[in-house]
Structure 1
Amino acid sequence: MRKVGIIKEIWRYPVKGMGGERVETCGLDAMGLYGDRRWAVRDLNRDEIQSCKFRPQLLRCTARTMADSDTPRIEFPDGETVCCTDASVEERLSELLGHASRIEALQSNEGLDRFRRYKLGAIGWLDELKATFDREQGEPLPDFSNLPQSVADFVSVPGTFFLVAPVHIVTTATLSHLENVQQNADWDARRFRPNLVIETLPGEEGLAEQDWIGQTLHMGEVKLTCIATTPRCGAITRAQRDFGADTLVLRTVVRHADQNLGVYGRMSEAGSLHAGVEVWVG
């Protein structure tokens, strides 16, 4: 094994698609960080769980878990804070998103229907998905030719509100590398919605985490296996609470990072994550 850095930041997102909260320590198991993506917004007409890919307005909200409750509170763009179980929250979300919506908590032992993708037709769902990547003329899209049937059928991993895997990781090496390529873009790590930001050691340069695919990260008592790269869509260009829209970010990732920024991880050994803990790869 080799030491590659330390955990700089830990983030969890209590409501899928919304801004999240930074924490200093958090438990991790097969379902991801405790409290991460345990709630989601459903489009009532489509009968489908929504993400910031399709409803970027969600990024203008911030969800936080209160110390005395597992139920998150949502701060809306106007500053009003509403509990997820408040009677007014569905009206507020529907108004913000422009679609009739409700918010719901993840339940154990749920059937598959709750996670199914809305289908416009045989391939309509794929056209919708491709459109979220916001590519300009001549820019490549990710390879969709070998998508598993589960991706066609479900909008998230069945039984979860995760798109691909429970943990998403980015490194300061990657952010610094791309900032050097395009200094006029805004490389705030929050654009990329990581669970872990790893501050890499000198010598870990370029798109560092891309070299970790298939390897295991050792972080104190926790072990995470890096399973796949993260192809980027238009969500990273959207305005969030503390910064504005920036299309240069996506142009740079597509043209100088093979469309990917960050990697997905899956828990190999559960435990507690702590900011400042050393990260080893092997």
Structure 2
Amino acid sequence: MVRPYAWPVSTMLSEIWRYPVKSMRGHQLTEATVEPWGLAGDRRWMVTDADGSFLTARELPRLLLGVPTPGADNGLRLHADGLGDLVVPAPGADARERTVQIWSSSVRARDAGDDAAAWVAELVGADVRLVWLADPTQRPPNPAFARTDDRVSLADGYPLLVTTEASLEALGGGFSMRRFRPNLVVTGSKAWAEDDWRVVRVGGPGGAVFRAVKGCPRCVMTTRDPDTAEGGREPVTTLARLRRFDGATWFGTNLVPDTPGAVVREGDVVEVLEEVEPGAGPLR
């Protein structure tokens, strides 16, 4: 049963992360605007193969070494050690538009051109293209966990991911939160409390309100060092021991915004407006 909950005011937003290019390195922000499909500028770019199927660091680990910096008018500056920087303007209306596949969704995206494709190809050692999602209203999340008018950009499944410092500490092992690629990191909660959240507000009355719609099953990407892209067995091995449900390992909770246009800021109070009784594990 969902119930309201008076959350301690010491629970705060400690970090905000944005990932301009899917699977490339993220960067930390002090504040961000919330759009219906995620944080402004989050995962609007993506790497695909020549046929338009999405590619991530699961298949191409060296994508993690690409450092995208947002530029003017939705453009990017791409950087990686050993490669020259490349400025990539957001493709205009006259750019080649392609149908691209991300999981079960097909969306129309604009190709960023041959120079951008060549830069990313040199980074990852494969024939790839870089595309930009000009229209982020195309793609609905899984209807089993979302409303018909919800939307998501090029994130795996949902607009935002929240994690908590307490859960990372409970996991042990000294893992970096960067392995889990959250958008929002919360401090001051109990470990695994995010499993039970259903409605969360960041920033007090008038702040950003989110529905917590589904837990996040974790994949091989978390086993890649975010600085070197080298692989291993952790933290999935530890997660499997502590957080294995329905054949998957879980860390973090997916969010859908209900107040687009709101701004979240580092240090904002985080309140859980509705939650369920603890103990059931993540929504799945």
- TM bucket (normalised to shorter chain) is 0.7 to 0.9
What is the deviation of 1:158? 8.1
What is the deviation of 1:159? 6.9
Kindly indicate whether the alpha-carbon contact (under 8 Å) linking 1:230 and 1:263 is maintained by their aligned counterparts in 2.
yes
Aligned ranges 1:21-100 → 2 under 5 Å = 21-44=27-50, 46-66=51-71, 68-78=72-82, 80-85=84-89, 88-100=115-127
Aligned ranges 1:113-128 → 2 under 5 Å = none
* Structure 1: gaps of 5 or more residues: 116-146, 150-156
Instruction: Rate the CA distance shift 1:242–1:58 in 2: closer, same or farther, 3 A.
Output: closer
Instruction: Rate the CA distance shift 1:172–1:159 in 2: closer, same or farther, 3 A.
Output: closer
Instruction: Write the distance in 2 (CA, Å) between the matches of 1:110 and 1:277.
Output: 28
Name the structure with the higher strand share: 2
Secondary structure of residue in 1 paired with 2:185:
strand
Alignment length (residue pairs): 231
Aligned equivalent of 2:11: 5
1:165 aligns with 2:149: no
Aligned equivalent of 2:234: 248
* Structure 2: gaps of 5 or more residues: 1-5, 90-112, 145-149, 274-284
Q: TM-score, normalised by structure 2?
A: 0.73
Kindly indicate whether the alpha-carbon contact (under 8 Å) linking 1:8 and 1:275 is maintained by their aligned counterparts in 2.
yes
Kindly indicate whether the alpha-carbon contact (under 8 Å) linking 2:34 and 2:40 is maintained by their aligned counterparts in 1.
yes
Kindly indicate whether the alpha-carbon contact (under 8 Å) linking 1:84 and 1:103 is maintained by their aligned counterparts in 2.
no
% identical equivalent positions = 25
Secondary structure of residue in 2 paired with 1:88:
helix
Instruction: Write the distance in 1 (CA, Å) between the matches of 2:25 and 2:122.
Output: 18
Instruction: Write the distance in 2 (CA, Å) between the matches of 1:158 and 1:59.
Output: 25
What is the deviation of 1:98? 3.0
- Matched to 1:260, the amino acid is W
What is the deviation of 1:52? 2.3
Instruction: Write the distance in 2 (CA, Å) between the matches of 1:37 and 1:14.
Output: 5
- Matched to 1:9, the amino acid is E
Instruction: Write the distance in 2 (CA, Å) between the matches of 1:101 and 1:244.
Output: 21
What is the deviation of 1:88? 3.1
Instruction: Write the distance in 1 (CA, Å) between the matches of 2:115 and 2:221.
Output: 27
Instruction: Rate the CA distance shift 1:178–1:272 in 2: closer, same or farther, 3 A.
Output: same
Secondary structure of residue in 2 paired with 1:95:
helix
Name the structure with the higher helix share: 1
- Matched to 2:116, the amino acid is V
Instruction: Write the distance in 2 (CA, Å) between the matches of 1:219 and 1:197.
Output: 14
Kindly indicate whether the alpha-carbon contact (under 8 Å) linking 1:10 and 1:196 is maintained by their aligned counterparts in 2.
yes
Aligned ranges 1:111-190 → 2 under 5 Å = 160-179=153-172, 183=173, 186-190=174-178
What is the deviation of 1:111? 7.3
CA RMSD between the two structures: 2.6
